[in-house]
Amino acid sequence: MITVLRPGVSKEKVVSLVDWFENQGLKVHLSEGEYQTIIGLIGDTSKIDADMIEVLDIVECVKRISEPYKKANRKFHPEDSIIDVGGVKVGGGNFSIMAGPCSIESEEQILEVAKAVKDAGANILRGGAFKPRTSPYDFQGMRDEGLRLLLKAKEVTGLPIVTEIMNAEHLPLFDDVDLIQVGARNMQNFELLKELGKTNKPILLKRGLANTLKEWLMSAEYIMAGGNENVILCERGIRTYETYTRNTLDLSAVAALRELTHLPVIVDPSHATGIARMVEPMALAATAVGADGLMIEVHNNPEKALCDGAQSLTPDVFAKVVAKVEKIRDVL
Ligand code: PEP
Ligand code: MN
């Protein structure tokens, strides 16, 4: 349930209404916008008489929220959330480009790619250290050593970093990581999500391989319910009957999520298509549809990449994509 207050109500009156709701055993989520304050209520609101609240002089209206996701719901928080990723703002009109290799492979590789993507206009560096591979015989990532090299690249370039976590036990290693990625395969690893909810780290939550928007938002809710509201969603394609592309990029999800949630939504055209030459058109389309940013895989030598070379752009091609994305943003 949400209670929308009239503009300009005094702080004392808000506090006394919040106290009253809390005394009814409800959790209160206060959203103080520029023009309006909204009191979101979480818990069993069935005993609350909405008509009685609505007649209070400070209340404009009371609405029941039928969706099971509350904190992620735009009705709870009408204004776009802006997430601070190591000083880079994501969401609310701030466009972010996250780029780097699928996996960190060596110090030379990550430093070279990090410098190149920064020069091309990326503002967040990606690189996988713990890799969720379909086959146990494939390269599993450099793990702790990979994280150490990524942190070095952060130091050298000044770019904030994003990297994937697969196990909550690894959290102590992520202290200096600016944005923790939950990959598609772990979108419904609820125990992991709960642990991340206890931190105050920004979380990049990728869409599961075959998950609905509602399931995805419920996973965001798991993190937010724990008290961590710094969530960014990433559409990375879903599994359909089509096999030409690695996945099917669901761009309508971006438009739908804009209505359903206040959280920023970025698009990963690399994992969505699996084909380097298709990254540019999908990146442009994602920008045009209103995504808050992009995540793109870039490798200095895609043919030799230990993971996802076929979808990785060279730094030169990446720079051209960024320039075109900027043009689309100018048009918007
Ligand atoms: C990745 O970004 O490295 C990755 C494994 O992506 P996804 O979880 O979307 O497959
Ligand atoms: Mn990859």
pLDDT higher than 90, residue 262: yes
Output the pLDDT for position 214: 98
Section 117-135 average pLDDT: 98
Residue 128 in contact with ligand 1 by CB distance below 6 A: yes
207 within ligand 1 shell (Cβ under 6 A): no
Mean pLDDT, the chain, whole residue set: 97
pLDDT tens by residue, 187-241: 999 999 999 999 999 999 999 999 999 999 999 999 999 999 999 999 999 999 9
Please name the residue whose Cα sits nearest to atom 10 of ligand 1.
184
Cβ–ligand 1 contact at 271 (below 6 Å): yes
Question: 138 CB less than 6 Å from ligand 1?
Answer: no
CA distance 298 to 318: 7
Distance 55 CA to ligand 2 centre (A): 55
Own/partner pairs for 146-151, CB < 8 Å, 24+ apart?
A: 146/103, 146/104, 147/104, 147/173, 147/174, 147/177, 149/104, 149/106, 149/107, 149/110, 150/104, 150/110, 150/125, 150/177, 151/176, 151/177
Using the mean position of ligand 1's atoms as its centre, give its distance from the Cα of residue 132 in Å.
8
State in Å: Cα 184 to ligand 1 middle.
Answer: 6
Is residue 139 scored above 90 in pLDDT? yes
Please report which ligand is nearest the Cα atom of 126.
1
| Ligand whose nearest atom lies closest to the CA of 306 | 2
pLDDT at position 35, please?
81
- Ligand 1 pocket check for 184: Cβ under 6 Å: yes
Burial of 191 (0-12, 13-18, 19+ CB in 10 A): exposed
C-alpha 133 – ligand 2 centre gap (Å): 9
Identify the pLDDT of residue 34.
Answer: 81
Q: How confident is the model at residue 36, as a pLDDT?
A: 85
- Judge if the beta carbon of residue 269 lies within 6 A of ligand 1: no
pLDDT by residue (tens digit) across 25-76?
A: 999 999 988 888 999 999 989 889 999 999 999 999 999 998 999 999 999 9
Residues constituting the chain: 332
> How much is the pLDDT for 252?
98
Exposure letters 24-57 (e unless 16+ CB within 10 A, then b): eebebbebeeeebbbbbbebebeebeeeebeebe
Residue 161 pLDDT > 90: yes
**C-alpha–C-alpha distance, residues 92 and 95, integer Å:** 8
Cα(263) to centroid of ligand 2, in Å?
Answer: 24
Ligand 1 lined by 132 (C-beta under 6 Å): yes
